Amino acid sequence: MEHACFFIGQRTAGEEVYPALAEAVERHITGYGVRRFYVGRYGNFDRMAAQAVGEAKARHSGVELVLVLPYHPAQHPVPVPPGFDRSLYPWEGERVPPRLAILRTDQRMVERCAFLIACARPHLGGSGQVLDFAQRRAARGLLRVEELDPAGI
């Protein structure tokens, strides 16, 4: 398991979540020693997570922001956006059906990382399914989950 943090949240998350999200990123850096953050690119929550990590990178040396790609980059090329250090496609050598790619990639990253910052309603949509999965891992001591108030969704 990697000493890194992944984010999961519904794409419709409102801007009012941002202050708590930025505080959570800061806490993970200063309190838990996290230096690598993995972020997707599907929706407002992912955009805000990337922004929060980008701002933290300006204050803390050695922080890395990695774009997670659910689809093979040869089939779905995605340039690394400004502020990101690199991208990661976690399925090299494996096949994932395109209709399940985002959900399975999120689950793979939850398995890979020691930390998760989440803003999702349990049991609601793909983000909720991944949060449920993460909570089961956390109950077994395999992951530390910080849930933000989903009222801004």
Q: Record the pTM.
A: 0.94
Label residue 82 exposed, middle or buried (CB < 10 Å: 0-12, 13-18, 19+). exposed
CA 34/CA 50 separation, integer angstroms: 15
DSSP of 23-49, one letter per residue?
HHHHHHHHHH---EEEE--SSHHHHHH
What does the mean pLDDT of the chain come to?
92
Q: Estimate to the nearest angstrom the gap between the alpha carbon of 34 and the chain centroid.
A: 13
As a CATH number, domain 2-98+113-152 is: 3.40.50.450
Query: Is the separation of the CB atoms in 95 and 71 below 8 Å?
Result: no
Q: How confident is the model at residue 123 (pLDDT cuts 50, 70, 90)?
A: low
Residue 75 clears pLDDT 90, i.e. is over it:
no
- For the chain, the structural domain boundaries read 2-98+113-152
Predicted pLDDT of residue 14 = 86
Predicted pLDDT of residue 95 = 85
CA 29/CA 48 separation, integer angstroms: 17
Residue among 48, 75, 99 nearest 89 (CA): 75
Q: Estimate to the nearest angstrom the gap between the alpha carbon of 39 and the chain centroid.
A: 4
Phi, psi of 128, rounded to the nearest 5 degrees:
-65, -40
Residue 152 clears pLDDT 70, i.e. is over it:
no
Residue 49 clears pLDDT 80, i.e. is over it:
yes
